[in-house]
């Protein structure tokens, strides 16, 4: 996310850094791993395919780290 110095709502920009994908498979699962090792969900490591639930897993790890102060 990017905002200029005014922080006005119309100045906000969202970018995906090239990682966004459109689901085209029948199962609705992605197979290309794009992750940070400390926050990755188990199904990505097992190469089983993954969906948006992996983002919730990663968010949980980040929140735990912020609250506990360690991984």
* Span between the terminal Cα atoms of the chain, in Å: 25
State both tokens at 23.
């689901």
Residue 57 has pLDDT above 80, yes or no: yes
Model confidence pTM above 0.75: no
What pLDDT, on a 0 to 100 scale, did the predictor assign at position 70?
76
What pLDDT, on a 0 to 100 scale, did the predictor assign at position 10?
81
The predicted model gives 35-55 an average pLDDT of: 80
DSSP 16-52: -TT------SSS--B-S----GGG--HHHHTTS-B-T
What pLDDT, on a 0 to 100 scale, did the predictor assign at position 68?
92
* 64 pLDDT tier (thresholds 50, 70, 90): very high
Residue 65 has pLDDT above 70, yes or no: yes
């Amino acid at each position: 996310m990017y905002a200029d110095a005014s922080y006005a709502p119309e100045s906000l920009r969202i970018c995906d850094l090239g990682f966004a994908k459109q689901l085209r498979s029948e199962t609705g699962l992605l197979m290309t791993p794009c992750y940070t090792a400390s926050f990755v969900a188990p199904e990505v490591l097992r190469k089983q395919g993954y969906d948006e639930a992996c983002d919730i897993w990663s968010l949980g790890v980040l929140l735990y780290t912020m609250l506990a102060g360690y991984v």
